[in-house]
Structure 1
Amino acid sequence: MTAPAESAPAAAVAAQSGTARLEGALAALPESKRELARLLLAARQTVPARPAPRSGAGPVPATALQTRVWRREYAHPGTGTGSHAVRLTGRLDPARLRDALTGVLRQHEALRTRLVAGTGEPAGARLVVDDEPCLRLTQTDLSAYEPQGRADRVARQITESAGTVLDLESGRTSWFRLLRLAPEEHVLILTSHLAVFDGWSSGVFLTDLAAAYRDGGDSLAPPDLQFPDYADWQRRWLAGPDGAADLARRRAVFAGSPPAPRAPGGFERGHLPVRLARRPVEAGLALGAAEGATPFMTLLTALAVVLARREGRTDVVIGTPAAGRFAGPLEGAVGQFTTVVPIRLDLSGEPPFRELLHRARTAVAEALSHQRLPLDALFGEGDPPPYSVLFALHNYPAVPFDLPGIEVSQLPGPPARHLELYSPDPAATLACVGLVERDGEIGGTAEYNRRAAAPEDVRGLLTGIEEVLDRAVAAPASPTITRT
């Protein structure tokens, strides 16, 4: 029998009444038991496929990636620090900027989060969100120096900021420096810890900072989801049947892929600029587009051929950093959502490059559909993953940092230090090649392990991509593309 339409409002009232009674019962509990009761109630509920606001506001377990970065910070202080600098030309109001920075810290829980040692299960760090923001801003006047002296000191401050040791347990996860070069010229340096701030967060932060500078620090509304909401959801989803099943399916894909070998000497970071030759890349990307492949898919396919030749394999796994913001509400939050998506490419049967492109399209789409799975859960904490090379063609959305009456320009900074983020065991990583496309040119920076590769080895990956694309364009139907 169908229930009468009039029963719907009554059901809603009853639900609201039940919620009110539940909240009253929770409020009557001692504070020490209140959050435990909330967690037990949440554990009985079905975990949705996408994050939702968490129940309560107490500590939540850190993500697996955060726990790994947190532990590494103890052994190697400062390795998780990231830095970003902008030049501000125009009449800047420092007090207004300070208010805007405080407003952004207040808006995003990730920027008010401490990572502290947890007790009980699961083991690892806990996220504790402070109620009030704590802005750490230093102001330095360099206007008395000659132009070259100012430039040298700005460069030194940017370099020093990237090496700043931040304290995750005290909540000192960010630090800002405002350098005054002249009455209408400043440099703002943003220093943050990778445990709470990823590449996408830079755009979110600058957008909100501009809005707060224009309209006041109290004008900002918090995002629909905060990072602790995501961390709480991830733990519960992985422990539930849906997450466990997805994890098992994905593990089966890599069951036959051996872990990457560890370099005998461990890990020592190196950086070098890289660039792809324009002619073979343009022709290769046009071939890929004709087969329905994106530039990333085409370059990834060529790199897979290079690695297959190098390793003598027909089964290649390449890791690619992904934003990890698989739900729309996550796009407006600051936090460390980055994940590495391993992509397994099958090159067996000496297929022509066109066939490889179609295989890559399927493999990339399948891999990216599993961004919810954290790398540490997929392969085990501290275990070498089945890839030694990471490849990215970055496409973070361009964000205009629009301050009224002020011209904003980016300043180059020290190379990124991401290998600890992208691999549970950096000693098992050869290189991470991060490229961007600007004005028809594709180039960027390669971060590599000096104990596993020399600069010429890393450059060889790039020249290998160019050579593969050259051969593919000349003979796209040839079955010899995987041969040396």
Structure 2
Amino acid sequence: MGTIPHDHERAALVHKVRSLSAKRRRALFALLRKEGVDVSALDVMAPPPRRADDPVPLSFTQQRLWFLAQLDGASAAYNIPAAVRLRGRLDRTALVRALEAVVQRHEALRTRFADHDGVPYQHIGDGRDIEVRLEELADPADLPLICAGEAATPFDLERGPLFRARLLRVSDQEHVLLVTMHHGVSDGWSVGVLFGDLVALYEAYCAGRPSPLEPLPVQYPDYALWQRRWLADGVQERQIGYWKKQLTGVDPRLTLPADRERPAVKTYHGAREVFRCPADLLERLRTVGARYDATLYMTLLAAYTVVLHRCTQQTDIAVGTVVANRNRSEVEGLIGFFANTLVMRTDLSDDPAFCELLTQVRKTALEAYDHQDVPFEAVVDALQAERSLAHSPVFQTMFVLQEARTGREDRLGELEVLPVEFDVDTTKFDLTLDLRETPEGLDGTVEYNTDLYDRETIRRFVGHYTTLLASVVADPEERVSALPLLPEAERRRVLVEWNERPAAVAGGGRCVHEWFE
């Protein structure tokens, strides 16, 4: 089958195709398809005529969240909270005006999910129901509790709004901005878009200038309409075939052995454990990956599968992951829910050397990226995966790597911007390992379900993962069964002391010390 060229040649070709009339484009696409050329990347995301208040079908990702909301009721599990401290002389009028302009710029932030005869649609409002709340913070010690409470307050998907902002005044020289969005109208990439737009608008308004932002080529509802048409044109069918072959027979229950039996109905009660790997270990991990033509993500994911394998004694490991799913230039600067879920399945049955496992993970990841467009919910449907109230379909544990931050993320005009740390007591999965590259090293967060795990269990897990990373850089050609997970002193304690009092792990059916043998 023919392929479309890449990079500057592809960009030039896309530009030429978009300059054609709709009739000429259809004729060209028909001819190219006849010749066996995949033309999906050339399809133009031309927004159809619509009024701002016209209902639009949900995107596939939005549809899944709407379904979960019907199943679970109001929940904060899919809130996306952010809080930053602003130090310096703040122009509050300019900031509020900039926030209002961001809301007007992005239709997603003015969207709610309206029910029409049992079918959910996007309904885009005028934004007048969104208010930036200005408040005095009487006691700075209350800030973590306020942030946690804001993050834990559910949205009403049908009534909206699905975006809210609060500005807390600590003093003339210090404020705290809280922004919360529902995942149905936003994702991790969108947070960066929002703050990037906010910085540009605030700085312009402080200087008495108009908005410097170029008009957006499309809005999120345009993307939702285009996505359905594009996937229906053969893309979904081709990609579904790959995922059915890749995931048939996967065990959806595989997870870290639990401290308690799984509740009959899945809960979202969560907590977080944070850790850091030093910068020199991060650099050595990059070096190991490069040696085997693998990215840092692939290296860290391979290590994660080893820990899960060693803890469960299972050799078929399925881990969820997230991709930004913004492969088209039209949507790069758009706020909305584009992120998609992929499943990385790994086979450790032959006790491979870590470098061999890394090669396998690399191949799996690259194939998954080539089939990332089909919505995860469509994959679940095609697999006819078990639908259970007790657990998620296909996988229970998630792995995420966030790239190092770039650009001016520490300034808002003349203001210094600092993150505000606070606890979030919800989680979507049994266990999520979230890693971020920083100049100081690898910052990690383990988000876990507190109805399944004790904090001490998660702390042991963190110790095993970080020890394994050090073992990998020391000898990436060692068999995965022989890579040390524990410091020698702890290994003696596990194998000797715990063996003398082998308490079974509830729900796991095995002794705790067996995790690590």
Q: How far, CA to CA, are the matches of 1:413 and 1:480 in structure 2?
A: 36
Q: How far, CA to CA, are the matches of 1:47 and 1:365 in structure 2?
A: 19
- Judge conservation of contact 2:85–2:420 (CA < 8 Å) in 1: yes
Offset from partner CA, 1:419-448 (integer Å, 9 cap, x none): 1xxxxxxxxx43011111323432332111
Code of the residue aligned with 2:136 in structure 1: it is: D
- Secondary structure at the counterpart of residue 192 of structure 1: strand
Matched, 1:413 2:431: no
- Judge conservation of contact 2:276–2:444 (CA < 8 Å) in 1: no
Report the alpha carbon displacement of residue 134 of structure 1 after superposing the two structures with TM: 4.1
Aligned match of 2:148: 159
Paired positions, count: 429
Q: Choose the corresponding residue for 1:168, options 157, 163, 183.
A: 157
Q: How far, CA to CA, are the matches of 2:199 and 2:224 in structure 1?
A: 27
- Judge conservation of contact 1:318–1:387 (CA < 8 Å) in 2: yes
Code of the residue aligned with 2:48 in structure 1: it is: S
- Judge conservation of contact 2:322–2:339 (CA < 8 Å) in 1: yes
Q: How far, CA to CA, are the matches of 1:15 and 1:446 in structure 2?
A: 51
Q: 1:218 to 1:170 in 2, by over 3 A?
A: farther
- Write out aligned runs for 1:18-29 (5 A): none
Aligned match of 2:176: 187
Report the alpha carbon displacement of residue 415 of structure 1 after superposing the two structures with TM: 3.0
Q: 1:229 to 1:172 in 2, by over 3 A?
A: same
Code of the residue aligned with 2:81 in structure 1: it is: S
Aligned match of 1:91: 89
Q: How far, CA to CA, are the matches of 2:158 and 2:268 in structure 1?
A: 27
Report the alpha carbon displacement of residue 312 of structure 1 after superposing the two structures with TM: 2.9
Q: How far, CA to CA, are the matches of 1:418 and 1:53 in structure 2?
A: 37
Aligned match of 1:127: 122
- Secondary structure at the counterpart of residue 342 of structure 2: strand
Report the alpha carbon displacement of residue 345 of structure 1 after superposing the two structures with TM: 1.7
What RMSD, in angstroms, separates the aligned Cα atoms of the two structures? 3.2
Aligned match of 1:198: 187
Aligned match of 1:251: 244
- Secondary structure at the counterpart of residue 437 of structure 2: strand
Normalising by structure 2, we get a TM-score of 0.74
Matched, 1:65 2:61: yes
Aligned match of 2:166: 177
Q: How far, CA to CA, are the matches of 2:321 and 2:119 in structure 1?
A: 26
Report the alpha carbon displacement of residue 109 of structure 1 after superposing the two structures with TM: 1.0
Report the alpha carbon displacement of residue 310 of structure 1 after superposing the two structures with TM: 3.0
Q: How far, CA to CA, are the matches of 2:404 and 2:162 in structure 1?
A: 23
- Secondary structure at the counterpart of residue 481 of structure 1: helix
Matched, 1:389 2:387: no
Aligned match of 2:7: none
Report the alpha carbon displacement of residue 482 of structure 1 after superposing the two structures with TM: 6.7
Report the alpha carbon displacement of residue 155 of structure 1 after superposing the two structures with TM: 3.1
Offset from partner CA, 1:5-44 (integer Å, 9 cap, x none): xxxxxxx9996999xxxxxxxxxxxxxxxxxxxxxxxxxx
Report the alpha carbon displacement of residue 276 of structure 1 after superposing the two structures with TM: 5.2
- Judge conservation of contact 2:79–2:180 (CA < 8 Å) in 1: yes
Percent identity reads: 31
Aligned match of 1:271: 271
Q: Could you tell which deviates more after superposition, 261-270 or 75-84?
A: 261-270
Q: 1:140 to 1:479 in 2, by over 3 A?
A: closer
- Secondary structure at the counterpart of residue 244 of structure 1: helix
Q: How far, CA to CA, are the matches of 1:469 and 1:219 in structure 2?
A: 45
Normalising by structure 1, we get a TM-score of 0.79
Q: Could you tell which deviates more after superposition, 206-215 or 388-397?
A: 388-397
Aligned match of 1:211: 200
Aligned match of 1:4: none
Q: How far, CA to CA, are the matches of 2:99 and 2:469 in structure 1?
A: 47
Q: How far, CA to CA, are the matches of 2:61 and 2:200 in structure 1?
A: 31
Report the alpha carbon displacement of residue 315 of structure 1 after superposing the two structures with TM: 2.5
- Judge conservation of contact 1:207–1:399 (CA < 8 Å) in 2: no
Structure 1's unaligned 5+ residue stretches are: 1-11, 19-45, 420-428
Aligned match of 2:33: none
- Judge conservation of contact 1:138–1:177 (CA < 8 Å) in 2: yes
- Judge conservation of contact 1:60–1:228 (CA < 8 Å) in 2: yes
Structure 2's unaligned 5+ residue stretches are: 1-17, 25-38, 256-260, 484-516
